[in-house]
Structure 1
């Protein structure tokens, strides 16, 4: 370790390298903007730690984000962005970094959670104590942009959709609390919805009650990650998915987050959904026009307590780095 420099919350160019490397070698849907979102939302409760060589080579990275409990329970610290440059693998750097950051005194006693790729899930459980696993897998679906056909989808006439512009935050955040009631992630939600290159829409019933919302964000290699997609019914989920692409009121908007999106402009569409949401596959199959087949699986893992997720209303999780739903 004498040749390693430890950097917390490094300069943006280091993050840009991490984004490029993880997208190129692992296919991760991560954005140049995510780092600023997490830092801005969580402040000192977010740490991205990076190992570098003394001559500036990237070695490995790991991030943690702490959310205070909203029910007088222990805080939740999520763990993500665990990646080691292939040049430095099998030398113990990643394990050292993981133990150093996750076991630091400031987060001792916290419930810790992560979304683990299938090949690492057992190691996270046996080596690092992430031995409690949700009763669902996270199924990943990856579809070429040229295969996306929003014209196949229908809108639910009982709801209206509105492009999120920041003025609706309180309403959307109250809905988010019905999905994730255990922790206070208000700052995270607000920051994620207003970030550049993110496109968000929410649905309301005739009484003005929010019944779901969706965000899509542009990621490395021109991938579009859809998440969250939360909805009270399958019909509302379908409406929200369609609304990102279509709608006269959306066509008239002149906005840096302009909607509608053009599917063919993106190399891939990526979404991660709980395996126990039995309506998702039908929805995605309808969007693409052929039977949807998952591309891989991930595991939702915790150290002290499994945080429940209403998976019948979660069609796509927020992200798989700093969120569990």
Structure 2
């Protein structure tokens, strides 16, 4: 298939085909938003974000997709090349399309000897480890779960009176970066976080204590197929996470118009399990299974005790 002249690899930037990719992704049951492409492009910058699609030239049908985002080293922080949206249509797997996409998207001299990471689907995780070298695993996985909006009971959650919930623009952004970096195992997401928490297209809140220190933050974004997704939800404690979750959901005036609430907690954070279970009286659907954070050179040591839902599982380890 690599030699088939009917298959062409094309940069995303050359085509306005993000909605087509979103449709394919939705059929796989993944959570993404149409706005995510712009978030990624702004968050990484043009030189650090690349997306490719494999297209059949005769039918113009999309056969596969991959994107990468490069978290550059800032002030000696660890660099990370994160790979996501890596899909090939099921009927075309095993024909070399995925390998060609992978090789082309990481073909950048800046990536030599740089750590690569991804969140692997359970059915692909071993292949990523064996063939592409993503053989370094942390001691946790991402639970891709969901809750029906009709099952949500906001009265089941409590507010922590020792903290205040404020908007993103009400805090020192550099302090937010410092908080995020500590949870991310040193990875700096300066531009990315700003783009991802843009409150014009998200519902984002920050938790601060009585001393004005950031002790948590959370975000919900709207996605395809009338869904909303939580990510990130980081906090110093269970009560802070609960308060953030409650107040962010309460800020969504049309919450009842959505069908599904997607959540992505680490499987070892039992406090997260308890909060989400209480939110819907135990009706958490875990049929989405787990994805596996995996790396080529070293494990990014994210602080899962403070992660109640990861940012998103496309281009972020946590």
* TM-score range normalised by the length of the shorter chain: over 0.9
Indicate the residue corresponding to 2:49 in structure 1. 46
Q: Whole-Å Cα distance in 1 between the matches of residues 199 and 160 of structure 2?
A: 28
3-state DSSP class of the match of 1:7?
Answer: strand
Cα contact 2:220–2:228 (8 A) shared by 1: yes
Equivalent position of 1:202 in the other structure? 206
SS in 2 for 1:307: coil
SS in 2 for 1:132: coil
Aligned mates of 2:94, 2:42 — CA distance in 1:
34
Residue 66 of structure 1 aligns to a residue in which SS?
strand
Q: In 2, Cα distance between the equivalents of 1:286 and 1:278?
A: 12
Q: Which moved more, 1:166-175 or 1:196-205?
A: 166-175
CA RMSD for the aligned pairs? Answer: 1.9
Q: Deviation at 1:73?
A: 6.0
Q: Which aligned pairs between 1:117-266 and structure 2 lie closer than 5 A?
A: 117-165=121-169, 168-194=172-198, 196-246=200-250, 259-266=251-258
Distance 2:133 2:107 in 1: 11
SS of corresponding position for 2:204 = strand
Q: TM-score, normalised by structure 1?
A: 0.90
Offset at residue 169 of structure 1 (A): 2.7
Listed one character per residue, the Cα deviations across residues 198-229 of structure 1 (whole Å, up to 9, x for unaligned) are 11011110011111000000011011110000
Specify the SS of the correspondent of 2:308.
strand
Pick which of 159-168 and 311-320 moved more. Answer: 159-168
**Residue from 295, 300, 303 that aligns with 1:307:** 300
Deviation at 1:58, TM superposition (A): 1.0
- Given the two structures, how large is their TM-score scaled by the length of structure 2? 0.92
For structure 2, the residue ranges without an aligned partner over 5 or more in a row are none
Q: Which residue of 2 aligns with 1:13?
A: 16
Q: Distance in 2 between matches of 1:85 and 1:110?
A: 29
Is residue 71–residue 183 contact of structure 1 (8 Å, CA) maintained in 2?
no
- Name the CA shift for 1:104/1:11 in 2 (closer, same or farther; >3 Å): closer
* Alpha-carbon contact 1:33-1:196 (below 8 Å) kept: no
Deviates more, 1:140-149 or 1:229-238: 140-149
Q: How many residues align?
A: 312
1:2 corresponds to 2:13: no
